[in-house]
Structure 1
Amino acid sequence: MKFITFTAICCFVSLSSISIQAQAPTFNPFFFGNKPEESKVFTVSLTSIGRYHFDEKWNAGNIYLNNGDSLVAYYMRYDLIRNQLEVIFDNDIKAINGSFIKRFEWFSVERLRPEKFVLRNDFKFDPGKEVTGFLQLLEDGNTKLLKCKRMYAPREATSPTLVNDTDTDIQSIEEYYLVRGGNAVELSGGKRKSLKIFDSKELTRYINDSNLKFNNESDLKEIVKYYNEKIN
């Protein structure tokens, strides 16, 4: 799917004080001149927009719904707390709840690259892991690399708690997960522990020779890409 980007984009957005449901055109009329059919999904006007997003910038992309419909070439942001997409329709911001969404993708105007997001429920995580909503798919293949971004309020030094939109002392955390056979394992605890997850002498040599680090996102992507192409 090709994306259309602009060097300068002006969006004038009004927020309705009343929550109103409405269906959405499958293709964004801002990009396409025709009148496409409407999707079966309902959008909801917002009384207020979220405060914490995966990316604060508005990026154009596509939304793939559980009912089989797609919304093409819309500007969106993912609300981490409410688990919903804020989407610009005409001159309004509306929300699509995460329960209606299978996956979504956008082209980052800041990083100049496409970015894909998948549902947490598609994978098995260790019990007790506070992973909800959607995660970024950094590398795909037999072995996948996922990025989880979440916000928390450290009200207690030893026990961070879940956050809501009224919290003020908010911190962001990023976690990376390796997925094989549908099972997600967190990449943490340093190089030695992470290498045990891969269990490959060839990969260990490649990482050492290339001086790759497990605490660097670009290096992590390179490690998983090499593992998929050369070993797995």
Structure 2
Amino acid sequence: MRYTKTCIILIIPLCLLSYSHAQIPTFNPFFFGQKKQQTNVTPINLTSIGKYYADRSWNAGNIYLNNGDSLIAYYMRYDLIRNHLEIIIDTKIMAINGSFIDHFEWFSINRLQPEKFVNKQNYGMPELSEVPGFPELMVDGDVKLLKCKKVFAPRQATSPTLVNDTDEEIQILELYYYIKNGEIFEVVGSKNKNLNFLDHVGLEDFVKKENLKFNNENDLVKITTFINEE
């Protein structure tokens, strides 16, 4: 399934963006008070905010830049269309383009758990070319589990198994991938295909005993964790 450049142009809200190099406190003064450390970054001055996010809530977390700098304990949310992080700096909503970011992490106030997002360029997988720039790393280890959110127009969709409805304009499709031994595999509806790729002794019995499903996110986490702990 592909969405075209025309589709992207149609669903991006019109806005004016300006870039300016700045030094921002490395540690959010709201939590830590004034500290001397400064982070060199090029924030975007927004005249409008986005519409489609990995999580609409403002979650506090950390941003790790490609240049080795970081921003600690800032409120942020990831814009799936524009591929940037909206971030609250002082009393302003600004943004950092995804091309400057290696990874970021936050604590989800809705799910009450830490979540980590890694720039897809770090994986070097062509299969991820059509998803936004920061898949969620749900489980790390010898076998990694990634969760990717792809924005698409419903008329262009097939019949995905896991879809979050947003509005009449677009939907957000959730895709899950395993990475093992340098290979990537999209989780599919066929249990046997998933098991064949994972190729782990005792996994089939574990899935059967625990009645786990490959189309359930919590079950996917349990399956991957089981493999990495063996």
TM-score in same-fold range (> 0.5): yes
Aligned residue in 2 for 1:135: 135
8 Å CA contact 1:125–1:185 kept in 2: the answer is no
Partner of 2:42: helix, strand, or coil?
Answer: strand
Q: Percent identity?
A: 55
Aligned residue in 2 for 1:89: 89
1:100-134 superposed Cα distances (whole Å, 9 cap, x missing partner): 00000000111111101111112243558512300
8 Å CA contact 2:147–2:177 kept in 1: the answer is yes
8 Å CA contact 1:62–1:74 kept in 2: the answer is yes
8 Å CA contact 2:130–2:150 kept in 1: the answer is no
8 Å CA contact 2:28–2:71 kept in 1: the answer is yes
Q: Which runs of 5+ in 2 are unaligned?
A: 1-14, 159-166
| Structure 1 residue 150: Cα displacement | 1.7
Question: For residues 25-174 of structure 1, what are the structure 2 equivalents within 5 Å?
Answer: 25-125=25-125, 127=127, 130-156=130-156, 169-174=169-174
Distance change >3 Å, CA 211–CA 78, structure 1 → 2:
same
Question: For residues 182-197 of structure 1, what are the structure 2 equivalents within 5 Å?
Answer: 182-197=182-197
| Structure 1 residue 42: Cα displacement | 1.4
Partner of 1:99: helix, strand, or coil?
Answer: helix
Q: Take 2:16 and 2:75, find their aligned partners in 1: how far apart are those partners?
A: 21
Q: Take 2:125 and 2:144, find their aligned partners in 1: how far apart are those partners?
A: 14
| Structure 1 residue 181: Cα displacement | 2.6
Q: Which runs of 5+ in 1 are unaligned?
A: 1-15, 159-166
Distance change >3 Å, CA 219–CA 128, structure 1 → 2:
closer
The answer on 1:223 being equivalent to 2:218 is no
Amino acid at match of 2:197: I
Give RMSD over aligned pairs. Answer: 2.3
8 Å CA contact 1:27–1:73 kept in 2: the answer is yes
| Structure 1 residue 155: Cα displacement | 4.1
Q: TM-score, normalised by structure 1?
A: 0.83
1:33-85 superposed Cα distances (whole Å, 9 cap, x missing partner): 12332211111210111100000000000000000001000000000001000
Amino acid at match of 2:203: L
Greater share of helix: 2
Q: What is the total number of aligned residue pairs between the two structures?
A: 209
Amino acid at match of 1:152: F
8 Å CA contact 1:138–1:145 kept in 2: the answer is yes
Bigger mean CA deviation after superposition, 16-25 or 43-52: 16-25
Q: Take 1:79 and 1:136, find their aligned partners in 2: how far apart are those partners?
A: 14
8 Å CA contact 1:175–1:186 kept in 2: the answer is yes
